[in-house]
Amino acid sequence: MTTDFKNLLYDVDKGIAMITFNRPDALNAMNTESLKELQEALKRAGSDDQVKCLVLTGAGEKAFVAGADIKEMKAKTPVEAMAYTELGSGACRYLETLAKPSIGAINGIALGGGTEIAMSCDVRFASENARFGQPEILLGIIPGWGGSQRLPRLIGEGRALEFLMTGEHINAQRAYEIGLVNRVFPQKELLERTKDFAAKLAGMPGFAIKMLKTSVYNGMNMDMTSALNLEIQCICQCFSTSDQEEGMTAFIEKRKPVWVDS
């Protein structure tokens, strides 16, 4: 286990980078130092050829990330608030646009920035005791790490606005019903089931995963004609790789492909 972070645990095993938020006394709330460490951990995973997939979770069984550190935020000037907000927003955007797939294992409370970090993952698994919310409105502010943008894209404008304008919390089952999370597991099974899925993604051809994320995330912000053209460009780039040749050869030969990520 890598211990050179103060507020995070970082470990790589069998191609999976495990990033664990580790401020249990503060329910893993994200202060400035935590956000900087998260960015560094994400960059480390992104540049490590051994890493094929990322899993983000919280230490313990109470919280994934309880949100931003309100005690730190309260006294900030508008200029300081912008720097802090840009740091959190930038970390979420970096996670979202990382070429490698990511899974959020939401093991407890995920409020405010916690929901925003979770939404920046490609896939979200939750334990039965997880809770979600964007309670910023109850603090006299609005989300700043992408909550007002990603939430409507995930669950629709009407549901998102209800969520955002009331600040109410929802449980894991409701989050599953509205499409905020992909699956819900018993608390004791969450990490094991998440790691199993991460291993499956880690075994996929890396460049094709990158092109898939590029097509999906960029295409969502385009008109349909432009998005379809982007998809064509992305699939054509796959034909420059050894994995495309291997995948199709293996299909014809009725065997399992051996990916080389090139």
Residues 6 or more apart whose CB falls under 8 angstroms from that of 149 comprise none
> What is the token pair recorded at 180?
């905020």
Neighbours of 123 (CB within 10 A): 18
80 a catalytic residue: no
| Catalytic residue of the set 61, 80, 86, 116 | 116
Whole-angstrom distance, CA of residue 78 vs CA of residue 121: 28
Task: Give the count of alpha carbons within 13 A of 248, CB side only.
Answer: 6
Length of the chain measured in residues: 262
> What is the token pair recorded at 255?
């065997």
E strand map for the chain: 8-13, 16-21, 53-58, 63-65, 102-106, 109-111, 123-127, 131-133, 169-171, 183-185
3-class secondary-structure state, position 68: strand
116 a catalytic residue: yes
Q: What is the residue type of 85? A: T
| Catalytic residue of the set 61, 136, 177, 246 | 136
| Cross-strand pairs, 10 | 2, 19
**Residues annotated catalytic, as ranges:** 116, 136
